[in-house]
């Protein structure tokens, strides 16, 4: 196990390098650079950038240098000083900008994850065990509905209902009073009060698909000989289910952790924009649109690192949950 | 590695979405329109009326569906508990009274909240906060009352100038409302020597920064000599402060007198100072910003390191900002001279910006009451421009023209006036031309170059355009055929430049093209060049910025088919548009032609002077800006105009300057480099009915950064 962990960690280093390079190239692919986009954006409002300053900007940000030089400066900054650079647009350190949004993003994503699993697992197991019962049909109906509704539309409908029917405040994660207040008990309650709409919206499609996956996996396992054997040996039905078929059916859930982590940052951008949530997604989109190289690069690097870590975690968990899987 | 693939796919998705310019709101509103169609509220009528199918236009058919939800999220922007509105169940009615909360007051000379602070001893009395000779502003209609909170909208990215336009117009001098004359601002008066090389400004004695520290000549000297002329901070000195390649020298005469000296005459200096790019002299408070400059603080390197910045110039820009970068509004500690100062900053993570009145603001109304009248500005930040439009039509913005002033929005804005409780604000176009076509006279391909650089060829294409049809269909009849030049009514209006070759004459156009050697035609009836290639070129246009130009070009394309010329409407993304222009890769491009009201401030269509603007000959502009070192040498007519332009800028005498401008316009008319379609069209913004002292209309310009010069500090809310 230890050896496995060490090799995996060692492999991450070159992977991250390749990824960071690819990410950098990808961001540079669209025509123009930050300064072009900046000038174009201002020109859209008939505003002019001082001609002397435009050239300065490019030089100051090092955009006039070959890409490989820009990459080198960026990556050495990160490796040697832990400095992710300055966002071109905001003149603020990139790490500051990202962390500012990460805390709320984490809260939102983990609440969503918990909600998803808390609903999907029991319902999935139930609808497999009670196959073709009324309950199964109801669960199937709602899970297909959940899969079919685009989440941004659901967001709009829920915002409408919440605002008009229930008189709840929607949009954003805090009410006016707490928006800039320091953290307090009241603010936490306020956050929870606002959190449920985005959590439900984000959880719906995830829950729906997980229910289907769980049901299918369970159905595969339930007819296996070991289930019959266990039952013949007199194991109670609940203990039997939990100890054997559920454990095996969980495999796909654990594998998905690999992409749950990167979804922290890049998932649910549309919903976040519709609900104007101060999470990381809209900031990522905005930085890519503005070609704000260092901000976008740091985001993509973060997503990739999270993916690598996520797949490692899911591999380890798989080995723990399913004794048949050997890592060596 | 599947997650990695996903990451890449994500990135690619963003890039493609960026290329296509489709925003989330487009998808969303489009979707709602579809849903609506099922409910028989067809949007089809709109299409049949030849009105363009844009998402915004769908809004007015859909916004009664969305209205309750707008009111729902109102609380975020409006500053009142939303629950209370909904319980009152009188959504709109309740909202309209919100900003009008003002307190009856007698002859109060300062805002009630400031008076309270003075009474508590936390703030010096008014007399000590005002300069001995404050700027007296005559209110547009009547003197106002204190109070209220004004709501405006910003876009999430690169929208710092939206704040600048509202509050940041406090330079040494400023434009008058009519955009014809420079008036006193921070400087109460000034003297100019006979040959326009020395400008002496008299500041207001006793004037204070927003933190109560005195504002003196030292601040101006510091801003120019220690900041703008510091080559580490500004690699080249901002162009407003430079004439003939030599920057100004600023000297302190006394605490309240400061002198700008130039090596050569600079008659346009005052006009340039009144534009946003001339704000540097009053931008940097010495007592605060000097801590970030090595000359005054040897330990600035440590400060930079502590702030996680690579060097001191980065730290300086992050703390003290510059004219048009977001960090100007990102630091709540930086003192300013503006009517409102930042309370909640414009930073990368912000969802709104809040500004509150400056207790030391140096302007008063005719009763001697300190401005501004309005307590607070709240800028909500929308991720998407379409949602700003939704905010505007549902009356959740008190004054807004920025981002929503497109021609396509006008019907929607006027239809919702009643419901949104607002009136329209006319934005007088400062441009000359709605759709300037720039043929690339310096095309890299010799055959194309020969074609475009021939004046008669351009003349034939101009005659081939049916301008009346375009004006009727695209601009709803609100314009007239036009080439370029100062607008009708402007003292420098030039009839020939404006009207030549604007009639639709297919016969004459065909004759000219036959004569030029394009008489052979291919099977489809398109003309062939002497080398056997089809007469074909592409015109670059950015659909996301100027949808009307795409419609115009489609009609032009059809008109040109009649004279055997094949044109492609090349809709591209904006960064690509700029890159193609910078590299001189374009055949032709369109852009609204500026210089209608401010011909000498933005003369890019009259001579090749702007590398990102004069798109008919980018290499000539490079020749001009580099003093002949780069680019290509332009023809005599251009060189003469460049000389005249430089001379005109150095001539203080308006009559003499007029003679020079006349010659520039004569030469420009003879050269006929750009082809125009019609006079630039006025646009519209919205003002809530209870907001007073706002002009009915004002110039829409960057040099006159609307609404700033209309003095928002004297706007007020009627109760």
Query: Best residue in A40, A252, A304, A310 to probe B by mutation, most B CBs within 10 Å?
Result: A40
C-alpha span between B502 and B464 (Å, rounded): 9
Residue ranges of chain A with per-residue pLDDT less than 50: none
A143 is a domain residue: yes
B27 pLDDT higher than 60: no
A16 is a domain residue: no
* Gap from B543 CA to chain A (nearest CA, Å): 12
Residue A164 at interface with chain B, using a CB cutoff of 8 Å: yes
Contact B172, B201 (CB under 8 A): yes
Query: Tokens standing for A238?
Result: 């609940």
Question: Rounded to 5 degrees, what angle do the CA atoms B622, B624, B627 make?
Answer: 105
Question: For B568-614, how does the pLDDT look when each residue is reduced to its tens digit (9 = 90+)?
Answer: 999 998 788 988 998 999 999 999 998 898 888 889 999 998 888 89
**pLDDT computed for residue A164 by the predictor:** 63
Residues 6+ apart with CB under 8 A from A261: A306, A307, A309, A310, A313, B3
CB contacts of A45 in chain B (<8 Å) are: 161, 402-403, 702
**B84 pLDDT band (50/70/90 cuts)?**
very low
CB pairs under 8 A between A and B: 251
* Gap from A168 CA to chain B (nearest CA, Å): 7
B164 pLDDT higher than 80: yes
CB contact under 8 A, A93 and B308: yes
How much is the mean pLDDT over chain B?
Answer: 84
* Gap from B46 CA to chain A (nearest CA, Å): 24
Nearest residue on chain A to B81, alpha-carbon basis: A176
Question: For B286-300, how does the pLDDT look when each residue is reduced to its tens digit (9 = 90+)?
Answer: 999 999 999 999 999
A187 is a domain residue: yes
Contact B318, B307 (CB under 8 A): yes
CB contacts of B5 in chain A (<8 Å) are: none
CB contact under 8 A, B324 and A270: no
Give me the phi and psi of A98, to 5 degrees please: -70, -45
Contact B260, B250 (CB under 8 A): yes
Average pLDDT over residues B321-339: 92
Which residues span the domain enclosing A186? 94-321
* Gap from B526 CA to chain A (nearest CA, Å): 33
CB contact under 8 A, A30 and B15: yes
Contact A43, B594 (CB under 8 A): no
> pTM, whole model, 2 decimals?
0.76
Q: What percent of chain B has pLDDT over 90?
A: 60
**pLDDT computed for residue A152 by the predictor:** 81
CB contacts of A171 in chain B (<8 Å) are: 72-73, 76
B65 pLDDT higher than 70: no
* Gap from B348 CA to chain A (nearest CA, Å): 6
Rg (CA), chain A: 24
Question: For B384-437, how does the pLDDT look when each residue is reduced to its tens digit (9 = 90+)?
Answer: 677 778 778 878 899 999 888 887 788 889 888 988 899 999 998 889 999 999
C-alpha span between B500 and B513 (Å, rounded): 18
Q: Tell me the residues of chain A between 201 and 260 that have a Cβ less than 8 Å away from chain B.
A: 258-259
CB contact under 8 A, B31 and A153: yes
CB contact under 8 A, B72 and A26: no
* Gap from A230 CA to chain B (nearest CA, Å): 37
CB contact under 8 A, B2 and A23: no
A142 is a domain residue: yes
* Gap from A139 CA to chain B (nearest CA, Å): 27
Sheet containing B249-254, strands listed edge to edge, beginning at the edge strand earlier in sequence: B187-192, B198-203, B257-261, B249-254
B6 pLDDT higher than 60: no
A118 is a domain residue: yes
Question: For B211-245, how does the pLDDT look when each residue is reduced to its tens digit (9 = 90+)?
Answer: 999 999 999 999 999 999 998 898 888 889 988 88
**pLDDT computed for residue A95 by the predictor:** 86
**pLDDT computed for residue B483 by the predictor:** 95
Question: For B300-315, how does the pLDDT look when each residue is reduced to its tens digit (9 = 90+)?
Answer: 999 988 888 888 998 9
B120 pLDDT higher than 90: yes
C-alpha span between B328 and A88 (Å, rounded): 14
CB contact under 8 A, A159 and B611: no
A29 is a domain residue: no
CB contacts of B577 in chain A (<8 Å) are: 40
Which residue in the set A44, A101, A310 is minimally distant from B545, CB to CB?
A: A44
Nearest residue on chain B to A176, alpha-carbon basis: B76
Of residues B83 and B451, more confidently modeled: B451
CB contacts of B319 in chain A (<8 Å) are: none
**pLDDT computed for residue B311 by the predictor:** 86
CB contacts of B15 in chain A (<8 Å) are: 26, 29-30, 288
Which residue in the set B1, B82, B384 is minimally distant from A273, CB to CB?
A: B384
CB contact under 8 A, A36 and B582: yes
- DSSP symbols for B637-691: HHHHHHHHHHHHHH---HHHHHHHHHHHHHHHHHH--SB--BBPPPEEEEEETTE
CB contacts of B309 in chain A (<8 Å) are: 86, 93
C-alpha span between B536 and B240 (Å, rounded): 41
Q: Which of the listed ranges A116-130, B51-65, B203-217 does the model predict with the highest average pLDDT? A: B203-217
Which residue in the set A32, A170, A276 is minimally distant from B576, CB to CB?
A: A32
* Gap from B105 CA to chain A (nearest CA, Å): 28
CB contact under 8 A, A101 and B317: no
Nearest residue on chain A to B232, alpha-carbon basis: A60
β-partners of residue B422 are B688
- CATH number where A141 lies: 1.10.3720.10
A85 is a domain residue: no
Question: For B662-680, how does the pLDDT look when each residue is reduced to its tens digit (9 = 90+)?
Answer: 999 999 999 999 999 999 9
C-alpha span between B131 and B204 (Å, rounded): 6
Residue A91 at interface with chain B, using a CB cutoff of 8 Å: yes
Nearest residue on chain B to A61, alpha-carbon basis: B314
**pLDDT computed for residue B77 by the predictor:** 36
- Looking at the structure of chain A, the number of domains it has is 1
* Gap from A37 CA to chain B (nearest CA, Å): 5
CB contact under 8 A, A52 and B15: no
A287 is a domain residue: yes
Nearest residue on chain B to A161, alpha-carbon basis: B69
Angle between helices A94-129 and A293-321 (to 10 degrees): 30
* Gap from B309 CA to chain A (nearest CA, Å): 7
**pLDDT computed for residue B392 by the predictor:** 85
β-partners of residue B701 are B705
Cα–Cα separations (whole angstroms), residue B294 to B311, B315, B689: 11, 11, 51
- DSSP symbols for B312-338: HHHHHHHHH--TTSGGGGS-TTS---S
**pLDDT computed for residue A176 by the predictor:** 66
């Amino acid at each position: 196990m230890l050896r496995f962990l060490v090799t995996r960690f060692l492999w991450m280093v070159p992977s991250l390098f390749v990824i960071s390079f690819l990410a950098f190239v990808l961001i540079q692919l669209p025509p123009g650079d930050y300064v072009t986009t900046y000038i174009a954006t201002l020109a859209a409002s008939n505003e002019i950038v001082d001609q002397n300053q435009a050239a300065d900007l490019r030089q100051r940000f090092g955009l006039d240098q070959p890409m490989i030089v820009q990459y080198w400066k960026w990556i050495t900054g990160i490796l040697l000083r832990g400095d992710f650079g300055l966002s071109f647009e905001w003149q603020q350190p990139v790490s500051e900008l990202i962390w500012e949004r990460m805390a709320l993003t984490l809260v939102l994503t983990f609440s969503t994850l918990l909600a998803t699993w808390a609903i999907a697992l029991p319902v999935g197991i139930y609808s497999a065990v009670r196959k073709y019962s009324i309950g199964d049909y109801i669960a199937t109906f709602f899970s297909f509905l959940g899969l079919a509704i685009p989440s941004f539309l659901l967001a709009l409908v829920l915002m409408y209902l919440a605002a008009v029917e229930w008189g709840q405040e929607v949009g954003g994660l805090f009410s006016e009073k707490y928006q800039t207040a320091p953290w307090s008990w009241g603010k936490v309650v306020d956050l929870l009060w606002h959190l449920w709409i985005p959590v439900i919206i984000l959880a719906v499609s995830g829950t729906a698909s997980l229910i289907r996956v769980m049901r299918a996996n369970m159905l595969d396992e339930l007819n296996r000989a070991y289930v019959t054997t266990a039952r013949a040996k007199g194991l109670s039905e609940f203990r039997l289910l939990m100890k054997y078929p559920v454990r095996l059916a969980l495999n796909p859930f654990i594998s998905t952790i690999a992409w749950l982590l990167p979804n922290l940052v890049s998932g649910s951008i549309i919903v976040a924009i519709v609900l104007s949530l101060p999470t990381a997604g809209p900031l990522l989109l905005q930085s890519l649109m503005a070609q704000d190289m260092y901000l976008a690069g740091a985001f993509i690097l973060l997503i990739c690192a999270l993916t690598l870590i996520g797949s490692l975690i899911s591999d380890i968990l798989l080995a723990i949950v399913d004794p048949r899987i050997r890592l060596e | 590695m599947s997650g990695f693939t996903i990451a890449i796919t994500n990135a690619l998705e963003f890039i493609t979405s960026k290329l296509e310019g489709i925003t989330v709101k487009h998808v969303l509103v489009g979707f709602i329109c579809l849903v609506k169609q099922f409910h028989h509220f067809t949007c089809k009528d709109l299409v049949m009326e030849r009105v363009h199918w844009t998402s915004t236009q769908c809004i007015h058919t859909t916004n009664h569906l969305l209205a309750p939800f707008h009111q729902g999220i109102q609380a975020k922007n409006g500053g009142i508990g939303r629950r209370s509105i909904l319980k009152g169940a009188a959504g709109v009615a309740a909202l309209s009274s919100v900003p009008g909360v003002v307190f009856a007051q007698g002859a109060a000379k300062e805002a009630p909240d400031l008076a309270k602070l003075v009474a508590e001893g936390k703030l010096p009395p008014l007399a000590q906060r005002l300069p001995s000779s404050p700027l007296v502003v005559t209110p547009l209609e009547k003197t106002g009352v204190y109070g209220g909170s004004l709501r405006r909208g910003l876009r999430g990215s690169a929208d710092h100038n939206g704040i600048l336009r509202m509050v940041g117009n406090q330079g040494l001098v400023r434009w008058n409302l009519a955009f014809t004359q420079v008036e006193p601002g921070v400087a109460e008066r000034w003297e100019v020597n006979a040959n326009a090389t020395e400008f002496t400004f008299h500041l207001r004695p006793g004037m204070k920064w927003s933190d109560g520290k005195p504002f003196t000549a030292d601040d101006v000297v510091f801003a120019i000599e220690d900041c703008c002329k510091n080559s580490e901070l500004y690699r080249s000195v901002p162009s407003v402060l430079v004439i003939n390649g030599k920057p100004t020298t600023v000297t302190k005469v006394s605490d309240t007198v400061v002198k700008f000296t130039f090596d050569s005459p600079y008659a346009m200096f005052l006009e340039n100072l009144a534009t946003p790019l001339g704000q540097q002299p009053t931008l940097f408070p010495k007592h605060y910003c000097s801590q970030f400059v090595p000359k005054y603080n040897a330990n600035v390197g440590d400060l930079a390191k502590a702030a996680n910045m690579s060097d001191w110039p980065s730290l300086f820009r992050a703390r003290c900002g510059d004219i048009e970068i977001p960090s100007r509004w990102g630091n709540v500690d930086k003192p300013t001279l503006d009517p409102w100062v930042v309370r909640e900053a414009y930073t990368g993570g912000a969802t709104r910006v809040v500004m509150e009145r400056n207790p030391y603001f140096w302007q008063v109304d005719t009763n001697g009451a300190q401005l501004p009248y309005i307590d607070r500005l709240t800028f909500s930040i929308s991720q998407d421009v379409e949602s700003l439009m939704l905010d505007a039509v549902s009356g959740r913005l008190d004054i807004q023209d920025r981002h929503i002033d497109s021609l396509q929005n006008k019907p929607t804005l006027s239809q919702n006036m009643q419901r949104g409780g607002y009136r329209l604000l006319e934005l007088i176009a400062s441009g000359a031309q709605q759709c300037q076509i720039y043929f690339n006279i310096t095309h890299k391909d010799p055959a194309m170059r020969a074609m475009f650089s021939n004046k008669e060829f351009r003349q034939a294409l101009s005659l081939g355009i049916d301008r009346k049809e375009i004006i009727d269909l695209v601009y709803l009849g609100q314009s007239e055929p036009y080439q370029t030049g100062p607008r009708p009514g402007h003292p420098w209006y030039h009839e020939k430049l404006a009207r030549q070759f604007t009639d639709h004459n297919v016969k004459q156009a065909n004759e000219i093209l036959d004569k030029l050697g394009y008489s052979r035609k291919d099977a489809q009836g398109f003309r062939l060049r002497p080398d056997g290639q089809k007469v074909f070129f592409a015109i670059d246009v950015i659909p996301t910025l100027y949808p009307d130009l795409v419609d115009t070009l489609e009609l032009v394309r059809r008109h040109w088919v009649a004279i055997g010329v094949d044109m492609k409407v090349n809709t591209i993304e904006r960064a690509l548009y700029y890159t193609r222009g910078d590299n001189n890769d374009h055949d032709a491009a369109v852009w609204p032609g500026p210089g209608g009201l401010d011909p000498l401030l933005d003369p890019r269509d009259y001579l090749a002077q702007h590398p990102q603007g004069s798109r008919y000959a980018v290499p000539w502009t490079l020749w001009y800006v580099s003093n002949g070192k780069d680019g290509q040498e332009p023809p005599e007519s251009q060189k003469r105009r460049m000389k005249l332009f430089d001379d005109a800028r150095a001539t203080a005498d308006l009559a003499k300057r007029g003679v020079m401008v006349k010659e520039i316009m004569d030469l420009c008319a003879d050269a006929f480099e750009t082809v125009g379609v019609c006079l630039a069209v006025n646009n519209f913004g919205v003002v809530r009915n209870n907001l007073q002292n706002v002009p009915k209309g004002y110039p829409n310009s960057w040099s006159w950064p609307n609404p700033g010069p209309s003095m928002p500090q004297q706007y007020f809310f009627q109760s």
